[in-house]
Amino acid sequence: MKLFNGKAVANKILKELKEAIIKEKKSPKLAIILVGDDEASKLYVKLKKSIGKKIGIDVDEHRFSAQAKEDGITAYIKRLNEDTDVSGIIVQMPLPAIFNTDKIIEAISPAKDVDGFHKENRKLLEKGTQGIVPVLPATVLSALEVALKSSQENKKILALVNSETFGQTLKLVLAKEGFNIDYLVRNTCVVFGAEKEIKEADVLISVCGCSKMIKGEMIKDGAILIDAGVTRYHDGKIMGDVDEVSVAGKASFLTPVPGGLGPLTVALLLRNVYLAFKKR
């Protein structure tokens, strides 16, 4: 089973970004909105700041308590929209349950929405217009291109996702590059009712956040597995949707967790920041 080296792909992107940014007169800037005290979110923000610093992108962290007023957060984001020094804005997920995630994301200017979550950017995708490509679907696409190279004909590609919106977005991003997929929304961490589709898939993409949900006996021989699901435990351990041990003798390709799509996700986010900076 071949393992996808996300760090190597990410390092190539970061090297190209660093070389491009050196030639600029000023540095791009990413503003990260962090709400609450989720330890995993703090670690992700710290990682983005560290990598951004290495390549010349300033990453500013804007913290709010879990008791902050939602209107106060959206008003703050709108001020960042008007700040000409800020190239891109993201809201670090997940938000505490009391907040309306869509409302907070919609406060971001579409031109600065470097995660690609804003509804206006999704509309551009639907129209086939070039806009900001959502980061996670772009990461999945990069892994697919490595796994399939030029042989994607007659491949049955199935995605297991945890929301209809993400499923539609993933389908749109991949379709633009010639990858036709089906997706199933899984609201719980079980595959009951989807066993047949999973077994028939040549390529299985999982973005559910359900630790070790995909077992070796569920997949077909030689299946390509794109694991974009992450579960972080209190002891700091990170697990993916795929049970790597049980699929090792059956799958032909796997994006491991950690070390697979994670590094690439950060690199593509920072590339979106640079692209937004250039457009402005």
What residues form the annotated binding site for NADP(+)? 230
- Angle formed by the axes of helices 119-127 and 164-176, nearest 10°: 40
Q: Are the CB atoms for 141 and 174 separated by under 8 Å? A: yes
Token look-up 């001020």 returns: 79
Going by the annotation, the residues of the binding site are 230
- Of 224, 196, 192, 235, residue with least CA distance to 210: 192
Integer Cα distance of 139 and 112 in angstroms: 19
Q: Are the CB atoms for 277 and 269 separated by under 8 Å? A: no
- Of 280, 269, 261, residue with least CA distance to 6: 261
Q: Are the CB atoms for 225 and 242 separated by under 8 Å? A: yes
Burial of 247 (0-12, 13-18, 19+ CB in 10 A): buried
| SS3 call for 242 | strand
- Angle formed by the axes of helices 135-148 and 261-279, nearest 10°: 120
